[in-house]
Every structure is written in C-alpha cells, then in structure tokens.
Structure 1
Amino acid sequence: MGVILSAVFGLAPVSAFLESGAGIAEGAKTGIASITTGFCFFIALFFAPIFASFPPWATGPALILVGSMMAQSVVNINWKYIGDAVPAFLVIVVIPFGYSIGYGIIAGIGSYLAINGFIWIVAKVTKDRVVPPNRQDKEVWSSFMSEEGAFGILPGWLQRTVNYFRGHQMRKPNEEQNIDGTPELISLHSRQSNLHRRMSHGSSETLEKP
C-alpha cells in the first residue's frame, strides 16, 4: 500500500530492504536492529574502496549458494493444480530470463488471475459441470472463502464487512466473552470446550437455585 500511495503522490517508494528481512528472521523486533545495521554500514564505508576492487565474478559462488537456498521453497509449491503451478512456474522463469523481479511478479499475478478467473467463470456458467479434474487440489490461500469466516487473515473491519455482505452475523475474530464478561482469546478448536464449560456452569447455577 505504501508503494502505491508513494507513486500517486510522486514520492520515493516505500520498500523493505534485505537487511530488515534478515534482522526479522533473526528475531529483531525493535528499532535497535535498524540502528545497529546503520552503524555497521557506517563502519563498512571505510572499507568501500577495498570492496569496490573485487571483480563481479568474485561474487558468483555466493549468488549460486543464495539461489540454491531460495530454490528449496520450490517443493512447497502446489504442482497438482494448474491454477497454482503455472503462475509459480512463470515467476521462476521470468525473473532470471527477464532480468527483473517486477516482471516475474507481474507475470505470476497476471497468469494467476487469468487462469483462475477463467476457471471460475466457466464453472459458474456451466454450474460446475466443466471444471478441471483436480480442482479439489487447489491451494486455499484466503480463509474468507471458507465457512468459518476470515479468521487470522484479514483485518477485523474487513472480516466483518465480508461476512456482512455474505449474510452472516459475525463476532469479533478470535475473541469471545467469558462468563464474567471479560474477553478471552480462543481458537477455532477450543469453541466446543468453551461451550461445554458454559453448559456446565449453567447447570450448576440451576442446581444452586432454591
């Protein structure tokens, strides 16, 4: 969202640097990590002439190692469904051959919308008579398409908006009121136990009445 707004107002784009991602991966949670990174960059300025003397091919082994580590995530791609496999494949292919990460992302998002949109339209027109044979293997990336609502994926206000237009009355996600009126964070799997506890509490109150 920051990149879109910065482009609208003609400002510099807002982006997450690789150093920030590395800090988050190591457990950094405050701005002290950014200060530490800036201090290390300040020290590295004095060694810039030495680093500039390294030829480009000297960094080849490091790039190969990083590429092999990134390729480990390929096994997590859903290759069973064409709507998930083709966009992922286009991203992997277009980025190196197009010399642009942006072109690869555009190719992946565009192909995903085109393929899945076409499948959705055909399924609606034919009333689910013409669908891919492995449609059930489609990877569910958005929980707001499920019957349980948009728990844990979308912001609270957007969850309530989606469920309002779907005709469902939805309470605040992942939050429920205790018997004494205090909020209690629960998971979807603990609702049954909470219901049983409430029923037990209600039965005990009934027994205590004269």
Structure 2
Amino acid sequence: MKIKKSNICLAICTVFFLAGCVSGIRPTGERQTEMSYSRLKLMDLDEMTEILQEKVRVYKRTNSSEPLQEGLEICLSRPDEDSLVEKTLSIVKNPLDDIDEWESSINALVDKSIANLKTDGVHPSDQVTSGVVLENIIAEFKPDLMKQYESPGFEARIVERIAGADVEYSKAAISERKLNLMRGSVGPSHIAQRVLDQRSEVLKKKTKKN
C-alpha cells in the first residue's frame, strides 16, 4: 500500500508542532527563583554588596524601582547566620525610602513569599527561599515591633500578617531545610507568633508596673 507523500509531511509537521507545545509547558515544581537561598548563602559581604549596588546603579539609570525591589528580595533571601543582612539591607532600603516605596515593596515581597508557601507544586528550593525571606523580615522588624505594643506600626502589622497567614513548609521543603540549613520544620508563621507573644509579655509587665 502506497502512502501519499502529503500525508507523511502532515504527520511530520504534526509531531514537530506537538513537540513545540510540550517544550513550552513549564513542569510543575520547576525552580522559579534565580537567586535562591542556597546560592546566596555562599556569597560573602563583598559579593552581596556588589550585587545590590549594581541594582542601585540600574535604578539610577532607568528611574525604575524594579531593580531596587529585586535587590531587596535578593538581600532578604540570604540565610542570615552571619548577620550580613543588617550590613547590606540599607543599600536598597535607603533609595526605596527616598521614593516612598519601602513599605509597598515589603508588602509585595511578603505577599509573594506567603503565596509560594501556600501554593502546591512550588519547588522546595523556592519554598525554603521564601521562608528565609519571611524569617529575615521578622528578625529585622523585631526591635521596632517590640516598642509598638501599645500602638502597632508598620513593622508590627507585617509580623502580624505573617503570623496570621499560617504558612507551613511542604515535606520536601522541610527535608531541604534540614539538609542545607540545619533547620527544622518550624514555619515563619510560628516564628512570627512567638515574637508577638514576646511583645504581649512586655505589655503585661508594663501594665503591672503602672
């Protein structure tokens, strides 16, 4: 039986078309974050400073706050066992403050991080990175938050939102945290709630004195 050449061509074209469609589909759980916690934790102060300063230079050239927001996420995505976040955060925070976009940038980053932890199929590395972001925000905001037990300010509201989000790590993310960060399964919401409880204790002691 002879097969028409036109049918063969049609079949070949169909195969290539379907292959192209499949290649364009992003597999579930594919890593989204370019600057993950595992990459950033290997960088020292000079390397982190250069990355963030480059973001500031791009901001000045383009007059767009997006590079500053990217720098903020990069800075807060680095595990902070060596207190490096405190030394580098001002590089992007100061210009964001100058254009009155610090609070909105933090809000957007918190929303993104919470969504990553709540969404099924997010790559474990991205979940861990988002957890690091939230933990760093809590740590950075804690000193101001502890002074806001009577009239909660921006820092207190952010930590309260993280606590109320009730986010937890997936089993895969917990395994990655244990392997790469030597940390357990305690999620950012639990950490945030502990800080809020500490603030409540301060308020109780102050009330008793009065």
User: What is the TM-score when the length of structure 2 is the normalising length?
Assistant: 0.25
Specify the structure having the higher radius of gyration (Cα): 1
Normalized per residue, the structure richer in helix is 2
